Structures are given as structure tokens and as C-alpha cells.
Amino acid sequence: MQLAEEGKDKFPLASKGLVSDLYIDDIVSSIPNLHEAKQLQSELIACMQSGGFELRKWSAIHPSLLGNILSGHRQQHFSFSMPKKISFIKILGLKWNPGCDSFSYTVESLDHPCTKRTILSSVARVFDSLGILAPLTFFTKHLIQHLWSMGLDWDQVPPIDVLEKWEKYRAELPLISNLSITGPLCEETFLKCELHGFADSSEKGYAAVIYFRYLSKNGIKVTFVCAKSKIAPLKRLSLSRLELCAAVLLARLTSFILNTYSSKLHFSKGIAWSDSTTVLDCIK
């Protein structure tokens, strides 16, 4: 952050990238065109070298961005002549395939006996920062809450109904590996961009999801941005109150997304949707 502050005049792209695209020790950026990507790359190298930092593990979807990078400083040798060959790179809990610029998940098989301890351990292995797997993680969170309410010990075998649900989940979990999340999230050229958020609830919990809607010369494109879910508390709440909780969750998620993308996108409008008349009346 100190280098970003010191280099904001000499290295404007690098300074901006370090502030917005640095995750622990990884710099992850998405650039709309090759010229700007090369400029960002050269600025990042120079800016970081001024502080004694040498950038390594370079990877990109375009071969020319790796042409001047030493082979020892690249993430791995990747064949652009065979882009369909699976060559994944781990990034932020996901697998990234530079050949087709897509993300996917890796899930280990679950072969441990079903107990509260093993279920918690298994759920913790599924990292889903964007909420792409929200329907799946919501199921597991609700299952854990159910086990907790039963007062089971950590290594006690749960009842048969829980075992059946867990076995079905365990059998279907590997199917996540077939999921491919393709980019880009943002259109290179569009006339306007809208933000649309949806909130809903049930007796088990509530959730919110956000999409971007692009209007371009080629038509309309809608892309998933993020989602978040929460299970209802053990103390029973009315469905109307849970609908209000969903609206609050969506409002906070929308605020976060607007703040995150404020320097990258201009939204012509943002709409939060709810099918609950109680929520709409309370807001009015």
C-alpha cells in the first residue's frame, strides 16, 4: 500500500491495481484490452521493483503478456496451441483455466462417517466467496443447525433421516467439478449497465442475489455477480420478518457491490426486487 501511494503519479495503473486488485499476496486484474494490460504489467513490475519486490507466478489469457517474462517467473508452462487442454491454476479458492478464461471448483470425495464433526469439516472445505454455490452451502448450513438443535455430541451418529440427506449430498457433491463459470463479467462496450438485486425467504432462511444487466448494440446480456444466504435463527420468526431480513441482506450486499465497482462501472440505475408486499409497504 505504501508503494501504491508513492507511485500513484508515476505508475497510475499499478497504483490503482495494488489498491483494488491485491488479495493477500496475489494481484488479480481483468483488463478490457491488450494495450492497457501490457501497460499495467510494465508499471506493476517497475513499481514493485522500486520497493525490492519481484513479481513471480505470472499467468495470463494472452500469450504476448508472457513473452517477456522469464520462464522461471511464470506460474506454469501453458500451451496456447492447445487451449482446450485442462491446465488449471488455483486462485482465491477456485481453479482458473487461462485457455478458455473460466473458473471451476475442486471437491474432494467425502469418505468419512457422518457425524457433526465430519460434516462441519467437510462444509469448511467448500470455499465460495461469491455465493455461486449458495443453494448448496445453504443446505449444509441448515443441516448443521438441525444437528446442533438435536444436541448431538461431536462424534455421535445422527438419526437415519439425516444420514439419508448426507449420503445424497455426498454422492452429488463431485458434480460441482463439472461446473464452469465463464467470463468476462463486464462487457467491453455497452450503452448502459443496470444493477438488479433480488431478495426472498422461506421458513428455513433467506437469501439475496445480484445481477448486472448490460444493454449493448448486440442486445441485452445478464451476468451473475454474487449471492449470499443465511439460515433462519432457531428462535422461530414470522415469514414476514424473514422477508424483511432478506431485504436488509440485499440492501447491504448492494451497497457493497456499488462501492466495489464504483471505479469500474457507471450504473444507469439500480433496482432491488422483492415479491413480499409486507416488505414493500414497510419500506414505503
Helix (H) or strand (E) holding 200: strand 192-201
What class is the 183-283 domain?
alpha beta
Confidence of residue 207 (pLDDT cuts 50, 70, 90): very high
Distance, in Å, from the CA atom of 15 to the CA atom of 29, rounded to the nearest integer, reads 12
Distance, in Å, from the CA atom of 233 to the CA atom of 201, rounded to the nearest integer, reads 13
CATH 3.30.420 residue ranges of the chain are 183-283
Contact predicate 140/119, CB 8 Å: yes
In this predicted structure, what is the pLDDT of residue 31?
A: 83
From 166, 171, 149, 172, select the one nearest 115 (Cα to Cα): 166
pTM of the model: 0.82
Q: Which backbone phi and psi does 111 adopt, to 5 degrees? A: -120, 20
Asked whether the predicted pLDDT for residue 201 surpasses 90, the reply is yes
Least confident of 143-147, 178-182, 205-209, 211-215: 178-182
pLDDT tens-digit profile of 88-124?
788 777 888 887 788 888 777 777 788 888 888 877 7
Asked whether the predicted pLDDT for residue 219 surpasses 80, the reply is yes
- Contacts of residue 268, defined as CB under 8 A and 6 or more positions apart, other chains included, come to 192, 193, 194
In this predicted structure, what is the pLDDT of residue 138?
A: 93
- Give the residues across from 111 on adjacent strands: none
